[in-house]
Amino acid sequence: MNITTFNVNSIRARLDRLLAWIDDRSPDVVCLQELKCTEAELPRAELERRGYHVHISGQKSWNGVAILAREPLTDVEIDLPWPGDVQARGISARVGGVRIVNLYVVNGQDTQSDKYPYKLEWLRHLREWVAPRAGEPMVVCGDFNIAPADLDVYDPAGWKEQVLCSTPERQALQAVLDLGFTDAFRKLHPDRRQFTWWDYRSSGFEQNKGVRIDHHLVSAAAWTRVLDVTVDMDERGRPQASDHAPVTLHLRG
């Protein structure tokens, strides 16, 4: 089984690209973020025609997450990481013996913005939601909007203590990992400088000026199934692509 996390940066604006990628790659599970649409606006028919079961937590114009899977999804939760959060940023379901949690973590804008404390609060709630479930076979994936270490940033000095790379954000991510999770890409590729997001401005992708902010955190109970994590650079380089590359976790079985 493979599980792809993919921030599509508007599913309606990039539907043709997404469908072409699905047709070419035939992924088992796709966790989409930044849909920028409601459930009624989701192009569900096109996805279902390709053999996917679809569950969404949508929001008009902003946010929004969905899980697509070849197998039926069970135990679906959409009101996370805490009940009543007004932003549609989390969805969870079981598939293939694994609980999959798909997240679009708050960006935070900058460390002086009022969105930054909300990001840290959101991450605290995420840890509280994950903690009682941490013993399960689980993959927590998505756009975390956090680069865990300087190796994950093209210019560590320029990004030092900026949003995505600030110490409190990194500590909040580590607090989730400390529940017994492993950053799958970094464990498998300890020295590789690989990015997953590149700014559209200033030819960021062409110059490989990126950051690694799209992750798969794998629980101890699921780790024995992990084979590899791959980043689809070809898709990111195509015309009208999202600013994120699809990132795929490959599992046995």
16 is catalytic: no
Of 28, 52, 104, 183, the catalytic one is: 104
- pLDDT greater than 90 at residue 202: no
104 is catalytic: yes
Q: Which pLDDT value is given to residue 38?
A: 96
Q: Which pLDDT value is given to residue 65?
A: 98
- pLDDT greater than 90 at residue 201: no
Q: Which one, of 1, 53, 82, lies nearest residue 251 by Cα?
A: 1
For residue 173, give Cα distances in angstroms to 123, 126, 227.
Answer: 7, 10, 23
pLDDT band, residue 72 (cuts 50/70/90): very high
Instruction: Report how far residue 116's alpha carbon sits from residue 120's, in angstroms, rounded to the nearest whole number.
Output: 7
Of 143, 152, 232, 243, the catalytic one is: 143
Structure tokens at 82: 């805490």
Instruction: Report how far residue 186's alpha carbon sits from residue 112's, in angstroms, rounded to the nearest whole number.
Output: 29
Q: What are the residue ranges spanned by the domains of the chain?
A: 2-251
For residue 197, give Cα distances in angstroms to 144, 170, 181, 223, 253.
Answer: 11, 17, 23, 25, 29
Instruction: Report how far residue 163's alpha carbon sits from residue 198's, in angstroms, rounded to the nearest whole number.
Output: 15
Q: Which one, of 170, 246, 176, 159, lies nearest residue 211 by Cα?
A: 159
- pLDDT greater than 90 at residue 253: no
Structure tokens at 185: 């890409």
- pLDDT greater than 90 at residue 213: yes
Per CATH, the number for 2-251 is 3.60.10.10
CB of 124 closer than 8 Å to CB of 13: no
Instruction: Report how far residue 115's alpha carbon sits from residue 166's, in angstroms, rounded to the nearest whole number.
Output: 14
Give 93's strand partners: 100
3-state secondary structure of 159: helix
